[in-house]
A and B are shown apart, each in its own frame.
Chain A
Amino acid sequence: AQSVTQPDIHITVSEGASLELRCNYSYGATPYLFWYVQSPGQGLQLLLKYFSGDTLVQGIKGFEAEFKRSQSSFNLRKPSVHWSDAAEYFCAVGARPGGGADGLTFGKGTHLIIQP
């Protein structure tokens, strides 16, 4: 069975500082990995995805993530955060880009707080 662990429930970062959100996954084959962001009262917006190839993937809003197979990790990074980045961030894994027969499995999320 596939699973995702996001070890940090809350993270507080000062505006302009760098950010790293951790994600560890469990999956038997080559995973499809995703980071989604959710603002209060909103749905999920796709930040970036890893399907294959280059293990460092670039996304929207200046985010990037690195796939490390040996560590079963897919951490999200941003060099300098903005107040508008405050939101809930979800890591997800699936058998297909659209989830497949078992859908996507999401972590419980990391709540990002930006300090002025």
Chain B
Amino acid sequence: ETGVTQSPTHLIKTRGQQVTLRCSSQSGHNTVSWYQQALGQGPQFIFQYYREEENGRGNFPPRFSGLQFPNYSSELNVNALELDDSALYLCASSSGTGGFSYNSPLHFGNGTRLTVT
């Protein structure tokens, strides 16, 4: 069973730039979620995708956007990067119907460490 994989592992960007992070879901999982974990904090929910549509979103501005592809892989895009966007970005996958994963808890990848200078 292949777990959740994320790329790249580390990334350095300049304020104002745009970034794309990538995630491959665990085999058999059809739902993907993204979380932001600032240093010393717990993860915060950004959004969730099911059947290529966003079906849940946390308190993040529209410059955080995502995509889910037919093979259930996903991208997180962040525009106009700010210094406070520096964090570990975690992708998690799960399975279920209606996108709300009635049976499956989240399985996380190892994350992408984004540094904005």
Task: Please report A residues at the B interface, Cβ cutoff 8 Å.
Answer: 4, 34, 36, 41-46, 49, 90, 92, 95-109
Contact = CB atoms under 8 A, between A and B. Distances in A.
B42 A103 contact: no
Interface stretch (B62-70, B71-79, B105-113): B105-113
Interface in B68-109: 90, 92, 94-96, 100-109
B36 to A, nearest CB: 11
Given A43-B110, A44-B90, A97-B96, A103 B58 contact: yes
Nearest to A42: B110
Given A43-B108, A44-B90, A104-B106, A99 B42 contact: no
B40 to A, nearest CB: 8
B41 A108 contact: yes
B102 A97 contact: yes
A98 B55 contact: no
B24 interface: no
A96 B101 contact: yes
A97 B41 contact: no
B77 to A, nearest CB: 18
Contact of B100 (A49, A92, A98, A104): A98
22 contacts: A42-B110, A43-B108, A43-B111, A44-B90, A46-B106, A96-B100, A96-B102, A97-B96, A98-B33, A98-B48, A98-B94, A98-B105, A99-B45, A101-B55, A102-B45, A103-B33, A103-B48, A103-B56, A103-B58, A106-B44, A107-B42, A108-B41
Most buried by B among A4, A44, A100, A102: A44
